[in-house]
Amino acid sequence: MLNQALHPQVLLFDVNGTLLDLAPVRRSVNEVLLDERGASLWFSTTLHHSLVMTVSGKHADLMEIGAAVLQMLARNRDVVIGTEDARQALSAMRSLAPHPDVLPCLERLRRAGYRLATLTNSSKAGVEAQLKHAGLAGCFEQRLSVETPQLFKPHGDVYGWAAEEMKVAPSACMLVAADGWDVAGAKWAGLQAAFIAREAQQKFPLAELPDIDVADLAALADALAA
């Protein structure tokens, strides 16, 4: 069982935070909110509202939700910001740099025979722009976005759909993510999961444990391609 768990056929990589460093967006949001911890609240509230839409049968671009939430949080701090300015404050999202451990890890995993894809809450156009700017566009067989199923992660159907797109069973896929809630959803949907403990990320205590729990992507490559 252990060996099988460590030999998924397909690795599905979360993008924001897992592959790409969100620091420039954090800085930009903190500046709007005049609060050096504002970005944590913005991320959390944006993720909440993405699921508010999903459980209501609605969908919108994650950055449109993020801009709306930024306006809500700004108003609570007596800062008025228009929709266009809120979008502009989030524009750094499309030109994020990869974490330094990303490219070496992806190359090792490809050489070891794994099939690689992204699975992101970003829109299709968003993830294309992000990967191109980060120099990662050629690393993935498919660049899957929740825009196609019109459901945000961690809705169980998103993971099942991704496995179908890759033409394998859910159990043959491993989600790789730095968000505890993403790992939780993938495990509950029957995928394998690897948690990457990036800064200020925690596993969700009510979820199943991930199959792999490592500090960074170098350690993931060690575990999967040793």
Question: CA-based Rg of the chain, rounded to a whole angstrom?
Answer: 17
Among 1, 3, 138, 205, binds a copy of itself (CB under 8 A): 205
Among 35, 128, 141, 165, binds a copy of itself (CB under 8 A): 35
- Rule CB under 8 A: is residue 79 a binding residue for a copy of itself? no
Q: Using an 8 Å Cβ cutoff, are 116 and 141 in contact?
A: yes
Smallest separation, CB 136 to a copy of itself (Å): 27
Nearer to a copy of itself, 131 or 194 (CB): 194
- Rule CB under 8 A: is residue 78 a binding residue for a copy of itself? no
- Rule CB under 8 A: is residue 68 a binding residue for a copy of itself? yes
- Helix pair angle (38-54, 23-33), 10° resolution: 100
Among 29, 185, 192, 211, binds a copy of itself (CB under 8 A): 185
Backbone angles phi, psi at 142, to 5 degrees: -140, 150
- Rule CB under 8 A: is residue 65 a binding residue for a copy of itself? yes
CA atoms of 84 and 150, how far apart (whole Å): 24
CA atoms of 103 and 140, how far apart (whole Å): 11
Nearer to a copy of itself, 4 or 83 (CB): 83
Residue 16 gets which letter from DSSP? Answer: B
Q: Using an 8 Å Cβ cutoff, are 195 and 180 in contact?
A: yes
- Binding to a copy of itself, residues 82-141 (CB under 8 A): 83
Q: Using an 8 Å Cβ cutoff, are 64 and 86 in contact?
A: no
- Rule CB under 8 A: is residue 44 a binding residue for a copy of itself? yes
Helices (H), 97-179: 102-111, 124-134, 156-165
Q: How many residues bind a copy of itself (CB under 8 A)?
A: 44
CA atoms of 196 and 179, how far apart (whole Å): 8
Q: Using an 8 Å Cβ cutoff, are 220 and 196 in contact?
A: yes
Smallest separation, CB 115 to a copy of itself (Å): 25
- Binding to a copy of itself, residues 150-169 (CB under 8 A): 151-152, 154-156
Smallest separation, CB 114 to a copy of itself (Å): 25
Residues that bind a copy of itself (CB under 8 A): 35, 37, 40-41, 44-45, 47-49, 51-58, 60, 64-65, 68, 71-73, 75-76, 83, 151-152, 154-156, 180-181, 184-185, 188-189, 200, 202-206
